[in-house]
Amino acid sequence: MSGESGQPEAGPSHDGLSWPQPERDRAGVPGGVIRRAVGQRHKSWIEKVFEQITGSPKQCVSLTEVMPVTVLAVQRYLLEDEPRNIVPRPPLYCYDVTISDGVYQEKCYLDPSLNFLVYQNILKVGIEMRISRVSCLYNEKRLGQGILCIDKVHCGETLDNVSVETPFRNRAHEEKPERPLRGGRSHYLALWNNEDPYGDIWKANKQPEEFNFNNIKIISLSHLEMTWNNRKNFPALLVRILHKSKLRYCGKPNKRLIEPYQTYLEVADNSGIVSVIMWNALCPEWYKSLRVGLVLLLQDYSVKKSYPFRIQPDPVDPQMKLISTMEICLNLRDPPTNIVIISEKHLKSEWKLPKLINRFITRSELDDMPEKGICDVIGVLSFVGRVQRSKKRENSEDFRSYRWIHIVDGTSDRPFIVQLFSTSQPEVFENIYPMKNFICTQLRVVRNNNQVPNLLYLTTTNESRVFITGHRGQPYTSDIKVKNFIRWIKTKTDSEIKNTVIGGYYPYPPVPETFSKYSRLSKAESLLTAISEVRKVIEDLQYREQKRIAIQGIITAIKYIPHNHSAESAPASETLRDDSQPSTSEAARRECQHHERGSKRPQDDRPVEYQATSVVFSIFAKRKVIQGPCGNPVPVPQPHSSEMKGSKQTSSIFQRRESSSGSTTGKFRRLGNVKWESQLWRNKKFSLRDHLHYSHVYPESTPRKFVLEHGKFLAQQYNSQPAKYIPPEGRNPRLDEFQSARSLGHFEVTILGLNHEIAIDVAFLPMYSPEDVKTSQIDTLLTCMNYSCVYPPEAPGNERVPDPEAVAGDIVNAAAELDRSHIICILDICNLGNNKVEVCLQRIYTPE
C-alpha cells in the first residue's frame, strides 16, 4: 500500500526522460520483454516528442512530426488539485492513456477537455491514434521531470494486430502497484463504474489460519450490545459472514483518503446478527478474500451507533435477533483491526455458530412470491444481455452497470428474468454467457399485476452475490432445490439446452398498456420530451447509457427491412438516395476524427471534426432502387393511381403470391421493400427544419443465437470496453456473421413532430417468433409491443411457420391505420459508443 502524499516521493515520473541505458536494455527484464538495443534502427517517436516539449511546461506544442501510435490502456481516477469553483467546473475524474509507438510505451495524461472521447468510447484500447498537439506537465509533489499531456488527437480505426511487447520508456510506469500520473491517489478505478475492484492493489486468496484460542477472550454480540457504551477495550468476536455487500467508493477531490472505500458485512453468532463496516485500505486488503459463510475472528475493532438510514437485510431465520443499535467498525488504523479467517475444522461445538441458510425458489414458485420478497435462484443461463449503464443521479458522473439475463431451472416453461447489476464481482459479471450454470442470491421480486403485460422480474440488491463456476464446497450445495437442479441438468446435453441467445436490444421492463399508468410509474423529471430536445438527449448520453423517453408525434412512414437488407437499407422516410453518399456506418468509418483541448463536444450529427456522422440523402436522386435477395438493384413497383387515393391506403407493393395449390398463402413477394408513407409526409418531408436519422440497426442491436465454441468472443462483444488491451486468441469472426435470434428483421419508422417542423427516424425491433403469431399476439402495431421479451421456444416441426414478411405486412398495415393520429411514442435510446446511437420504438399510445 502506498503512503500518504506530502513528502517528495518517487512516482511515475521519477526517472524523468529515462534515456536507454545499457543495464536497462538487456534481456531478462521482468515479464520476459526484451528491450531494444540503444543503437536501434528506428528512434522512438515518443523520445522525439519529449525532446521537443521538456523546455516548455504547460505550453501546448504542435508536433513537427505526427506518427500513428496504438492505444494500449485507458485508465480512470479521481481528479485532484484542481479548483472546483471555476466555470466550467472541471470533471470529477481524469484519464491516463498508455500508447505505444512500436519502440516504447508511454503513459500520458489526457487533457480533461477531451474526456468526452472516453465517455463516447471513441478513444479506446486497440485503436490507432495520431497525437498532433501535446504539452508537458510537472507534478510538483514528486521528483522527476514532466508528464506527457495529450491536447489534440485524431482517433482512427481499431487495429487487427496490436503488439503489447514493447517496453515502457519510463521504468516507473512498470512499478507495482500501478499509480496514476497525477495527484496522490494510489490506485485506478474501474473504467465504467465505481463498484468493481480494479487493478493490482486488490489482494485475494487469503487462507484460513490455525489459531490458538487459549488466551483469547470472546464476547457475544448480545453482550456487546448491552455493554459497549461503557467499554474502552472490546474482547474478540467470533462470527460467521451471512451477507456481504458490494463496494461503495467514497472518494471526493477535497478528501485526502488514499483508498476511500467501504463495504458492509452482516455477521452472526448464536446470540444475534450485527452489521460490520470495513473502511478504506482494509477493503483492497480483504474484500476479495471474504466470502459468505466464512468464520472470522475480529480483534481491535471499534463500535459506534448505527447509521440511522441504513436498512439491514432481514434474517433468513426469523428466530435470530437483529441488532440494529450498533455497528462494528474495522479500519487499518484507530485502532488497526486484526482479522483472522478460521477454518471450519477448528470450530468448537459449544460456540454454536449459526449455519448459512438460503432462500432458494424454483421458477414455478416465483408466481406466488410477494412484491419485494427476497429469494435465491439457481439455473442455467438461456439469455445474457449486453452490459448497459444508468446514471446514479441526474447530472452525476457516476454510473451503475447492469445487464438482463434469463435463467431456466426445468420447473417451468418460463425463465427467471433478472436485472443483474454489478455486484463488485467483475470476474463473474464479465464472464457470464448462455449455457452456464448460474446462482444468484439476495434477489428482490419486482412485480405489478395491475398492468398489461403483468410485470414480474427479479433484481439484485446491495447484498447479492453471483456464482458461475464449480459449486463443490459451497455452503448452498446441501439445499434440496440446488440438488434437484443439479440432478436435472445432468440429464441434459448441450444440444438439448438450445434456443439460447446473447446480446442485442432488450426492451425490458415492458411499458404498461396505458399512458396514465406509464405516467404514474415514470421517474423522469419531465414526463414528455419535445421532439426538438431529442438531439440534446442523445448527445448527453455516454457509452452504453440507456434512457427511455416519451415524445408526441405522427407516424408518417414505415418500412420493413429483412435481415439480409439491414446493412444496406435506407430509412422509410428516404426512398431516394444518391449512390455516391456513404451510409451511416461507412461515413463513421471513413471520417477523420480530430479534437483538441478546450473545444466543445459535438453539437451536430454531421461529420465535422468529432461530430457523429449521419446518412446524407440526396432529394434529387434520379432513380428509385431497392436491393433484391442477392443485393442486386430491383425496380420498385409503383402504386396504381387508384391506390393512392385516401391517406389510409397502403402501397400496392403488398402483393400476395399464390401457393402451388392456388390458394393465397399470405406471403409477400420477397422484395425486402414492404413499406408505407402517408400523404402528409410527401407534403412535408422537403420543408423540415430538422430531420434526425436514427433508424440504423447496428450489429450490437441484434440478439444472436449463442454458439458455445465462440462463447468467449461473443461475451466480449457484449461486455463493456476493457481498460487494457486484451490480445485475441486467434482470428475472431465478425459479430454480424452470427445468426440473428429474431425471425423478423426490423422496421424503420418516421415520426413527424406535432408542429410538422422536425422528424425523427427510429428503429422498431419486434421480438417476433412463430409462437407470437400462433397465439394471435401480433395483429396490430400496438399489440405487437404488448408482451414480454422472453424468447419463446421454436414452433414444433409439424406446425406451419408463418412467413415473417406476412407478419411484417400486418404491422405495416397497422401503422398505416394510425395515419394523422396524434400519438405518444416511448423511445429507448442507447449510446453504443464510437458515434453509434440506437433509438428504438418501444411502445405507441393513442389518445385515451
pLDDT tens digits for range 99-136? 999 999 999 999 999 999 999 999 999 999 999 999 98
Strands 758-764, 690-694: pairing is parallel
Q: Considering only CA atoms, which of 133, 170, 163 is closest in space to residue 150?
A: 133
Provide the 3-class DSSP secondary structure of residue 332: coil
Please state, in angstroms and rounded to a whole number, the distance separating the CA atoms of residues 807 and 773: 8
DSSP letter assigned to residue 91: P
Other C-beta atoms closer than 10 Å to the C-beta of 813 total: 17
Q: What mean pLDDT comes out for the span 282-311?
A: 92
- Give whichever of 462-476, 606-620, 793-807 has the largest mean pLDDT: 462-476
Strands 626-627, 664-668: pairing is unpaired
Is the pLDDT confidence value at 652 over 90? no
CA distances from 220 to 236, 266, 307, 682, 780 (A): 9, 15, 21, 80, 65
- Give whichever of 15-24, 363-372, 778-787 has the largest mean pLDDT: 363-372
| CA 649, 652, 653, 658 torsion-angle sign | positive
Q: What is the dihedral of CA 231, 232, 237, 241, to 10 degrees?
A: 100
Looking at the chain, the whole-number percentage of residues with pLDDT higher than 70 is 75
pLDDT tens digits for range 520-531? 888 766 789 999
The single residue listed with the C-alpha cell 416441426 is 797
Q: How many residues does the chain have?
A: 848
The single residue listed with the C-alpha cell 485506478 is 188
User: In this predicted structure, what is the pLDDT of residue 697?
Assistant: 93
Please state, in angstroms and rounded to a whole number, the distance separating the CA atoms of residues 604 and 611: 6
C-alpha cell at 281: 485500505
DSSP letter assigned to residue 88: S
Beta strand segments in 159-249, E: 237-244, 248-249
Mean pLDDT of all residues belonging to the chain: 79
Q: What mean pLDDT comes out for the span 479-504?
A: 86
User: In this predicted structure, what is the pLDDT of residue 83?
Assistant: 67
Q: Considering only CA atoms, which of 740, 841, 746, 721 is closest in space to residue 785?
A: 841
Comparing 626 with 12, which gets the higher pLDDT?
12
Please state, in angstroms and rounded to a whole number, the distance separating the CA atoms of residues 152 and 66: 11
Provide the 3-class DSSP secondary structure of residue 311: coil
User: In this predicted structure, what is the pLDDT of residue 632?
Assistant: 31
Looking at the chain, the whole-number percentage of residues with pLDDT higher than 90 is 51
Decide if 106 contacts 146 (C-beta within 8 A). no
Comparing 591 with 485, which gets the higher pLDDT?
485
Please compute, for residue 321, the number of CA atoms within 13 A of its CA located in the half-sphere on the CB side: 11
The single residue listed with the C-alpha cell 453468532 is 269
Comparing 87 with 390, which gets the higher pLDDT?
390
Weakest mean pLDDT among 164-178, 364-378, 412-426, 541-555 = 164-178
Please state, in angstroms and rounded to a whole number, the distance separating the CA atoms of residues 266 and 300: 18
**Which residues neighbour 455 within 8 Å (Cβ) at sequence distance 6 or greater?**
446, 447, 448, 449, 509, 510, 512
Characterize 101-120 residue by residue with b for buried, 16 or more Cβ atoms within 10 angstroms of its Cβ, and e for exposed. bbbbbbbbbbbbbbbbbbbb
CA distances from 238 to 267, 272, 354 (A): 9, 12, 11
Comparing 337 with 263, which gets the higher pLDDT?
263
| CA 301, 307, 310, 312 torsion-angle sign | positive
Strands 823-833, 626-627: pairing is unpaired
Supply the DSSP string of 715-768, one letter for each residue.
HHHHSPPPSB----SS----GGGSPBS-SS-EEEEEEE-TTSSEEEEEEE----
Q: Is 102 left (phi over 0), alpha (psi -120 to 50) or beta?
A: left
User: In this predicted structure, what is the pLDDT of residue 674?
Assistant: 87
Q: What mean pLDDT comes out for the span 497-501?
A: 82
Q: What mean pLDDT comes out for the span 571-596?
A: 44
Beta strand segments in 254-301, E: 261-269, 272-279, 295-299
If pLDDT is split at 50, 70 and 90, which confidence band does 395 have? Answer: confident
pLDDT tens digits for range 411-433? 998 999 999 999 999 999 999 99
Weakest mean pLDDT among 389-398, 620-629, 781-790 = 620-629
pLDDT tens digits for range 146-169? 889 999 999 999 998 898 889 999
Phi, psi of 275 (to 5 degrees): -90, 135
Q: Considering only CA atoms, which of 581, 244, 296 is closest in space to residue 442?
A: 244
Decide if 109 contacts 134 (C-beta within 8 A). no
Decide if 759 contacts 683 (C-beta within 8 A). no
User: In this predicted structure, what is the pLDDT of residue 800?
Assistant: 55
The single residue listed with the C-alpha cell 480533461 is 112
Cα–chain center distance at 267: 32
Q: Considering only CA atoms, which of 81, 72, 94, 91 is closest in space to residue 142?
A: 81
CA distances from 566 to 214, 529, 558, 629, 630 (A): 73, 29, 14, 12, 13
- Give whichever of 447-456, 534-543, 610-619 has the largest mean pLDDT: 534-543
